[in-house]
Chain A
Amino acid sequence: MAADTHAHEHPGAISPAKRLKMNRVGLWLFLLSETFLFGGILVSRFYLWGATRPELNQNLGLAVTLILLISSYFMYRAETAIKHDDRGDFLRSISVTIILGILFVAGVVGLEWQEAPIKPFTGGEFGIYGDIFFFMTGMHAFHVVTGVILLMIVAYRGYKGHLSSENFWPAEAAAIYWHFVDVVWVFFFPALYLMGSVVGPGH
């Protein structure tokens, strides 16, 4: 193709090393932006709940948190593997990450949303406690789901043999994003499950 031959030849074309650097900065800027989103959500939680929290299923909360933390380990493993051209380990580890990510969403959306007093789902009449819980877990789960989709795409690229120690940026990007979503939960979990005194039906 004519377009191919003169790609990277026009004046001012960018070297692959610089491209990688710029990709990293771009992604980190995007995550900085996302930090403000989740920061705003946390602010809303403290503004409306103050030093209180609803009664939630502690075991379930702890379980999903552990699942997500462990998934971050496997994501790190997958990223390192592809940087060392170990495609087998990459595919295994990223598959585990994807499965753990899906388990997390199933735990939060599938189980917790059926129990917690959330109006649209259980008809819960527990006002702002259900609403904020639904909003925080919902916004986070949405990001986990997009992360899982991203991981699936990257896994597919790796499966096709498009990724290697030369071309690992997609895997690295997905990993950074995944860790970010994980870190967000590290702040959300205590804000939802641990901080403040319990109020709610029965209290």
Chain B
Amino acid sequence: MNRIVRILLGFIVGFVAGIAVLVAVRVLLGLTPMPATLAPVLFSGIGFAILGLLYGFEPSLGLTRGFIGMAIAMIVGVVAVTHFRRAMGLDPAYALEPAWTMAAVLGPIGFMLGVGAVTDWLKWIFGIHTPDQHGPPEGKPAWTRYFGFDQNHKVIGIQYTVTGIVLMGLAGIFALIFRSELAIPGIQFLALDMFNSLVGLHGIVMIAAILLGIGGFANYLVPLMIGASDMAFPRLNGFAFWIAVPSALLIVAALFFGGWDTGWTGYAPLSVRGAMGVNFFMIGVFFFGFSSILGSMNLITTTLYMRAPGMGLFRMPIYVWAVLATALIQLTGTQFIGLSFLMVVLERLFDLGFFNPAEGGNVILFQHLFWFYSHPAVYIFILPGLGIVSELLPVFARKPLFGYKWIALSSMAIALMGFLVWAHHMFAAGMEEALRVPFMYSTMLVAVPTGVKFFSWLGTMWRGKLSFPTPMLFVLASIAVFLIGGLTGPPLATVPTDLFLHDSYFVVGHFHATMFGGFVFPFFAALYFWYPKITGRMYNERLGQIHFALQTAGFYIMSLTMARTGLLGMRRRIADYDPDLGIQNLHIIMTVAGFVIFFGVLVGVYNLIVSARKGEVAAANPWGSRSPEWQIPSPAPEHNYEEPFEVVGEPYDYGLPGSVYVDMHPSGSKTAASPAH
């Protein structure tokens, strides 16, 4: 059948099915078949129509089956809880919060069943043979493997990265909406709770995007860089990616369940009392945690056991060190945000009192648990990015990386020390007073290993032969922007100044500078740098420069203005401000700068999409890199290296005559290639 006809049919059938499902569910719940208003009918109809459309477009997409599985599981959850409550004699039988919380819990499970992420494990239980998957699925177009469960680390890496970019765009739009509201004092067009929800969504969806972006490059690069054919646990790898998709959907779905007022931090008691969107947000984050934990477990095992012969730990690419340190934090710390959010959800559902002083609970406990993960989490965001900076600088400076061992160990030191500073977020929270000064000092101490990295970057560039293609521009901007983040940190870590600055826009300026310097700029540097590896084509240099200029200029203006508005008295997460503060113009500047950044990123994404088809075919090793992944064809073959390579020298000896890092043909075929006489 013609594809257009199938799509149309899918849409119509989906729409009718959506209404039928709604009616069926209402009957099952014991309600009237038709709701009083039209909105739920349209919502359900259009939702299923989109699924039908996708199905008509390409029936074999795992993604579509995942959505369908998720929808079915959520309906099952709502119906089951309602019947359970009816059987228990609870009134009302159909209660919104328990029913939909169960739906949120079951949804990701249904999704994973639908997308096929657990099929092999289920088969294994019954002793059915499950061969490893090699290459694209048989009998389907090759591109469909990117939209379904796949075991290849390069496919999964691309899935992570693209999903990350999509979420980044979404979170950016959320920000532009509430930023426009803030441009002038007074309430313009956003209801107050909508403003709060958008602030929270911007934060948490960006964090999800960052984690996905990190996972993307780690998955794509680590096996290639260490000479492995894939990750240690390919099925688990696919699972870790796909569980993030329904989790992200739940987080965004919070918007349709009253949103939530607390911002991304979810502080009790407000989160315990707020709308039920809190549950969707928190359960979404909880499931997202599986992605972090399982993904990092995989990365650590891969790094420890699958390195090429001769690659001792101190001959690994520096980026792999950064990923290793990051994975250690993710593996362990993530449990704490899951724990704190789980306790809030249980407190809401069962009327418990963990964080309720009237019942003997304590609100400060929430903050301790939450920040024990969420401070180390900020190092999760930046360590891989700083690793990319250290990885790329020697290539573009044509000089050895300055102090390789120190850099490698500084990543580890940051990861470990990051666990000892969490309470600097709680100086103003009524925390135990005796903790203030120790945490002030421990926080300052983290600046030492961070400083090691800055010295190494300067030392690497010193008297190098610098060239400035787009990836290098982003690398340099990373360093410069991260410096602002680093310099605004100590005033926040110092108790007396923090009591003034806490919860102000100064903090907002601080962490945007750290996140942009530590993640966003390095992420784009990496995208441009490995773009020819991933696609086999070159991006457009001119557009890359425009992207760079817009994003860097916009960002400098935005973050410095944020910090200044904070010093003048602007509070964060507040929809309005006093015109007499004299910050009106600063708000307009920030808003415009925000749009400029967004537009810059759009140019970048356009460049990446268009160049994938129309870009020049890339040279084999366009940057003259010594890293092994550049010594094989682009895009890399299904299992990376035909023959295992051997590491015979130091990784970053750029510019030293006669130095070699990898021997691509250790078994001797190289002599065959050289002239015989």
CB within 8 Å of B: which residues of A?
Answer: 1, 3-4, 6-7, 10-14, 18, 21-22, 25-26, 29-30, 32-37, 40-41, 43-44, 47-48, 119-120, 127-129, 131-132, 134-135, 153, 156-157, 160, 162
Which chain A residue lies CB-closest to B232?
Answer: A22
- Whether A11 and B229, one on each chain, are in contact in the complex, defined by CB atoms closer than 8 angstroms, is yes
A6 to chain B: which residues have CB within 8 Å? Answer: 134
B541 shortest CB reach to chain A, Å: 35
- CA separation between A162 and B127, bound complex, in Å? 7
Chain A binder among B209-217, B594-602, B637-645, B667-675: B637-645
- CA separation between A11 and B129, bound complex, in Å? 21
Which chain A residue lies CB-closest to B133?
Answer: A3
B338-380 residues with Cβ-Cβ distance < 8 A to A are 338-339, 343, 346-347, 350-354, 359-362, 365, 368-369, 372
- Whether B297 and A29, one on each chain, are in contact in the complex, defined by CB atoms closer than 8 angstroms, is yes
A32 to chain B: which residues have CB within 8 Å? Answer: 331-332
Interface centre among A12, A41, A135 (most CB of B within 10 A): A12
Which chain B residue lies CB-closest to A120?
Answer: B350
- CA separation between A103 and B211, bound complex, in Å? 41
Which chain A residue lies CB-closest to B351?
Answer: A119
Question: Does B132 belong to the interface (CB within 8 Å)?
Answer: yes
A169 shortest CB reach to chain B, Å: 12
- The 16 listed contacts between A and B (C-beta, < 8 Å) are A3-B132, A7-B132, A10-B639, A12-B644, A18-B305, A26-B233, A30-B294, A33-B293, A33-B331, A37-B335, A41-B339, A43-B368, A47-B362, A47-B368, A48-B362, A134-B350
B300 shortest CB reach to chain A, Å: 6
- Whether A157 and B350, one on each chain, are in contact in the complex, defined by CB atoms closer than 8 angstroms, is no
Which chain A residue lies CB-closest to B298?
Answer: A26
Contact A36-B336, Cβ < 8 Å, known A135-B346, A160-B127: yes
- CA separation between A32 and B334, bound complex, in Å? 12
- CA separation between A19 and B477, bound complex, in Å? 42
A156 to chain B: which residues have CB within 8 Å? Answer: 125
B220-261 residues with Cβ-Cβ distance < 8 A to A are 227-230, 232-233, 236
- Whether A48 and B365, one on each chain, are in contact in the complex, defined by CB atoms closer than 8 angstroms, is yes
Question: Does B333 belong to the interface (CB within 8 Å)?
Answer: yes
Contact A119-B352, Cβ < 8 Å, known A10-B229, A22-B301: yes
- Whether A12 and B352, one on each chain, are in contact in the complex, defined by CB atoms closer than 8 angstroms, is no
- Whether A26 and B301, one on each chain, are in contact in the complex, defined by CB atoms closer than 8 angstroms, is yes
Contact of A40 among B134, B227, B339, B354 (CB under 8 A): B339
Interface centre among A33, A43, A135 (most CB of B within 10 A): A33
CB within 8 Å of A: which residues of B?
Answer: 125, 127, 129, 131-134, 227-230, 232-233, 236, 293-294, 297-298, 300-301, 304-306, 331-336, 338-339, 343, 346-347, 350-354, 359-362, 365, 368-369, 372, 638-644
- CA separation between A135 and B355, bound complex, in Å? 13
Interface centre among A11, A119, A120 (most CB of B within 10 A): A11
Given A3-B133, A12-B640, A35-B332, 10 further pairs, Cβ under 8 A:
A22-B232, A26-B298, A30-B293, A32-B331, A33-B332, A37-B335, A40-B339, A43-B369, A120-B351, A157-B125
A87 shortest CB reach to chain B, Å: 15
Which chain B residue lies CB-closest to A170?
Answer: B124
A151 shortest CB reach to chain B, Å: 13
- CA separation between A161 and B185, bound complex, in Å? 73
- Whether B336 and A40, one on each chain, are in contact in the complex, defined by CB atoms closer than 8 angstroms, is yes
- Whether B360 and A128, one on each chain, are in contact in the complex, defined by CB atoms closer than 8 angstroms, is yes
Contact A26-B297, Cβ < 8 Å, known A7-B131, A12-B644, A160-B127: yes
- Whether B304 and A135, one on each chain, are in contact in the complex, defined by CB atoms closer than 8 angstroms, is no
- Whether B640 and A131, one on each chain, are in contact in the complex, defined by CB atoms closer than 8 angstroms, is no
Contact of A36 among B127, B332, B346 (CB under 8 A): B332
Which chain B residue lies CB-closest to A156?
Answer: B125
- CA separation between A21 and B339, bound complex, in Å? 30
- Whether B343 and A135, one on each chain, are in contact in the complex, defined by CB atoms closer than 8 angstroms, is yes
Which chain A residue lies CB-closest to B308?
Answer: A12
B239 shortest CB reach to chain A, Å: 13
